[in-house]
Amino acid sequence: MTFESFSLKNRWHHLGLIFVVAVIVRALVFGCYIAPHGYYLQADSRDYHYCAHSLALGRGMMRPDNAYPIFWRTPGYPIYLSIFYSIFGPQGLDFNQNKMALETSIWVQIFVCSTIPILLFFLALYLAQSMMLAWIAAWIAVFHIGFVLASCYILSDALATVLLLLFFLFFYRSFRLIGEPILHILTDQSMIVDVLLAAFFLGLYTWLRPNGQFTVLVSVFILLLGACAWRIKIKKIILFLLLFFSIIGGWYVRNYQLTGHVFFCPMTGAYLQTFCAPRILRTVTGKPLMDCMKYLMGHVMQETARETIRLQKEAPHLYVARELVCSNIAMPIIKAHPFYFMYDWLREVMKTIFDPYASQIVAFVNNSFSYDPAEEFLFEKINLWLFAQNMPPFLGFFCWLEFFFLLWFWIGLFGGIWLFLIKPLFTPEEASIHTKFYRSLWLKTGFFIGGLVFMTGGFGYARLRMPVEPLMIILTLTWWLWIFNKKPNLKTNIGK
């Protein structure tokens, strides 16, 4: 069963049922639990609120207290929120004063994000060439606790996941790897159309999540591995990059005009200065983490003040992007102690990979959902997740349910890494057509999974892996269906 031979006419009612159930699940969680307690206010929600409030007033992305330009947030999600602020009217700077606009935006978000299971169905069907795998992946996404909770927050993660799924769908349709079965008719025209649509949706994703500007590098690398002629590869890459940067280029121009520096989002500097550099100083000096953070923050404030005075004399029309100052202060510390940096970075990446989404439920119970602690440890989080003393039984049930899901999830991923990536290196003579097909699938999805997850080493937690969670679900299912001998029928696709 190929992507092209799938008939929506025969399956629309199944997909409709998936969408309806997804909406019902998310609506119940939001209406009965998240909204009554105000849990949609998360650690970054106030930033988005301030940006949207300013946009609705026609002031652009400006701080509400001093009308200073905001650089550390991308404008995509604030623009989305500002639509509802404009409809209901900005009611004041206090987050809760805008309850009607915020909750209405989430209800719309719930409907949009309920398409994630459907998009995952098509992506899984195309990548894995298995109808059974595609249906299972879609139903998992319906009840996936991470997808459900994210759609109920004032955060960009859920909407960004919709856009990235659309990117993946068109990106993977635009090429095949050398030695991979031909899954659909690849003409020059169809490849160009698909790669342009992929660039379009990746550009929109980057307006919500700035790591899209690094994802584009992974995309170009994978395009270079395609099986088409070099003339077509270069043409696809040039068009891909031109459309992508034309979509996000306006924000580069805005930031350059305001600061004199070329950047899209300087949040990396803030992460390095807030999370990475203080841990290094703690290791080197033996001082408490909070003292190291305060020391560096004071240093940033001093340097920002000096740079502001300099610009007032030399270029009074320019502003100081404090996040760039953060980067200038953090980088010398990181360069002086690269091994400490890599250790801390990889530890946080591991936290992103293994952190349970249900740990957010613990934050609800502990009333710590609206802020991030200075530091978290994975095993402590897991202990609280499963054995929190004050956890109501019905919430504890969902925590344990995710525990067993994650066991299934990681057994499948580690099993697939061994079966499709490692074992063929030692026993190439045993590689079948199905093994080669799945190895190709794991390689071309693994680059995106590894690239996006590796970016999260500043402060790791579960929702940062959400954009690639759909790919991870597909890979997990390939191993489990292999174990139960439900391989796709690939023979009819070879040699087309």
Residues facing residue 62 across a β-bridge: 69
SS3 69: strand
Residue 376 lies in a domain: yes
Is 32 within a domain? yes
Residue 226 three-state SS: strand
Distance (Å, rounded) from C-alpha 356 to C-alpha 65? 37
Residue 134 CA, chain-centre distance (Å), reads 21
Rounded to 5°, the CA angle 369-370-376 comes to: 60
Query: In Å, what is the CA distance from 134 to each residue of 110, 117, 287, 471?
Result: 22, 10, 52, 12
Query: Is residue 182 a part of any domain in this protein?
Result: yes
Phi/psi-derived region of residue 261, left when phi > 0, alpha when psi is between -120 and 50, beta in every other case: beta
Q: Is residue 309 part of a domain?
A: no
Which residue matches tokens 């404008």? 75
User: How many domains does the chain contain in total?
Assistant: 1
Helices of type H across 230-316 = 230-259, 267-271, 277-285, 289-314
The answer to the question of residue 341 being in a domain is no
pTM: 0.91
What single letter denotes the amino acid at residue 282? R
Which structural domain range is residue 440 located in? 8-262+357-493
CA distance 50 to 90: 10
In a domain, 288, yes or no: no
Answer yes or no: is 286 within a domain.
Answer: no
Nearest to 363 by CA among 143, 36, 95, 43: 43
Report yes or no on 333 lying in a domain: no
Query: Is 234 in contact with 241 (CB distance < 8 Å)?
Result: no
Per-residue model confidence as pLDDT tens for the chain (496 residues): 444 445 555 577 899 999 999 999 999 999 999 999 999 999 899 999 999 999 999 999 998 878 899 999 999 999 999 999 999 988 888 999 999 999 999 999 999 999 999 999 999 998 988 889 999 999 999 999 999 999 999 999 999 999 999 999 999 988 766 555 555 555 667 778 889 999 999 999 999 999 999 999 999 998 888 767 788 889 889 999 999 999 999 999 999 999 999 999 998 999 999 999 999 999 999 999 999 999 999 999 999 999 999 999 999 999 999 999 999 999 999 999 999 999 999 999 999 999 999 888 888 888 877 777 778 877 777 777 777 667 788 888 888 899 999 999 999 999 999 999 998 888 776 667 667 888 888 988 999 999 999 999 888 888 999 999 999 999 999 999 998 875 665 544 433 3
The alpha carbon of 210 is separated from its chain's Cα centroid by a whole number of angstroms, namely 10
The DSSP letter of residue 462 is G
